Structure formats: structure tokens, C-alpha cells
């Protein structure tokens, strides 16, 4: 088993969203995100699917997810939502010095039009108060549709100022 790189995007100037496309089979796909930084403070990093039928972003209320936030301060957060218009990948990041995210996402049934799509989330980062935070969990997109990619944005707008996003197919 290995990984075949499908697409990559590296932020070199501020952008509002990052799209990764090229999902074209029922294989498992993975997204690796490194040194992701927001231009604004206290933003949640979010993800939506790109529909294969018309390449539009699926912003319908069909995203259910649950994660456990583990903080180096010794506290924990239970994060869960149903019928949302996106997945939250990491909570409350911003633009303070050193504040950033690193994530690995596994995507299942993404291209399969007869099944729900699933995601697992494994992430870590540093927030403004110097607390290391890790987010682990998963979710389900509760509509059977074929998706050809994913798009990342910050909650309530905002720009990415850095980050490398890479989509792989598990082969």
C-alpha cells in the first residue's frame, strides 16, 4: 500500500479558499495539511465537498461530525454538530505568532454516488495562548452523491496566509 499524489496547493499570497480536486474513483483518499495559518484571529478551519456533477461547493446542511479536542493545558473539549453546512477541522486558530495547524484527513466513499461520504480527522496545532491542541474524530456527509474534491475555508471568511495542502489517493 502507498500514496499517489493527486493535487497540491501551497499558499504564497493570501487567499480565501483552497480547493483540491482530482477524486475520480472509489478509492480512499487522504489530505495532508502543513503549517496552515489564518490572517484573522479566532477562526475555525472548515471543509466542504466539491460535487462531481457540476463542480460546485456543497454547502447544504448535510455534514455531521464529532471530535475530541485535547489541549496541552490538560483540558478536553467534546465538539459535535449535526446538519451543518461544513465540517470543522480545527477550532479557534488565528494570526498570532506561531499559531498554525497541521492535519491529516482520510476520505472514504467520496466519489461513490450511492453511499454517504465519511471523513476521519487527525490534527494538531498551536493557538494564540501557546497551548498545543490536537483534534481527533470523524464525520459523515449524509447525502449519497459523488464528490470530486474538497474546499477549505475559514469560518466567517478570512484568508489563508500560509499552508501546504496535498491530496493523495491510497494505492
Domain boundaries, the chain: 3-170
Neighbours of 76 (CB within 10 A): 9
Lookup: cell for 80:
459535535
DSSP-assigned letters across all residues of 18-58: EEEE---SSS-EEEEEEEEEESSSSEEEEEEEEETTT--B-
Q: What is the pLDDT of residues 104-131, one digit of tens each?
A: 999 999 999 999 999 999 998 887 667 7
Neighbours of 68 (CB within 10 A): 13
Q: Which ranges of 70-168 would DSSP assign to H, the alpha helix?
A: none
Give the lowest-confidence range in 26-35, 37-46, 78-87, 89-98.
89-98
Q: What is the SS3 assignment for 8?
A: strand
Domain 3-170, CATH class in plain words = mainly beta
Band of pLDDT at residue 156, cut at 50, 70 and 90: confident
**DSSP classification of residue 122:** E
Flag whether the pTM goes above 0.85.
yes
Mean pLDDT of 11-16: 94
With contact defined as beta carbons under 8 Å apart, do 41 and 128 qualify? Answer: yes
What pLDDT does residue 72 have? Answer: 82
Amino acid at each position: 500500500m502507498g500514496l499517489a499524489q493527486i493535487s497540491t496547493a501551497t499558499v504564497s499570497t493570501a487567499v480565501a479558499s483552497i480547493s483540491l480536486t482530482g477524486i475520480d474513483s472509489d478509492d480512499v483518499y487522504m489530505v495532508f495539511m502543513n503549517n496552515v495559518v489564518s490572517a484573522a484571529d479566532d477562526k475555525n478551519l472548515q471543509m466542504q465537498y466539491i460535487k462531481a456533477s457540476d463542480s460546485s461547493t456543497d454547502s447544504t446542511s448535510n455534514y455531521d461530525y464529532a471530535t475530541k479536542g485535547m489541549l496541552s493545558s490538560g483540558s478536553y473539549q467534546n465538539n459535535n454538530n449535526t446538519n451543518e453546512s461544513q465540517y470543522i477541522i480545527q477550532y479557534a486558530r488565528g494570526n498570532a505568532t506561531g499559531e498554525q495547524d497541521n492535519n491529516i484527513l482520510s476520505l472514504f466513499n467520496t466519489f461513490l454516488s450511492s453511499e454517504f461520504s465519511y471523513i476521519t480527522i487527525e490534527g494538531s496545532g498551536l493557538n494564540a495562548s501557546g497551548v498545543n491542541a490536537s483534534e481527533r474524530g470523524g464525520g459523515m456527509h449524509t447525502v449519497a452523491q459523488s464528490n470530486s474534491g474538497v474546499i477549505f475555508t475559514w469560518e466567517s471568511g478570512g484568508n489563508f496566509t500560509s499552508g501546504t495542502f496535498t491530496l493523495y489517493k491510497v494505492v
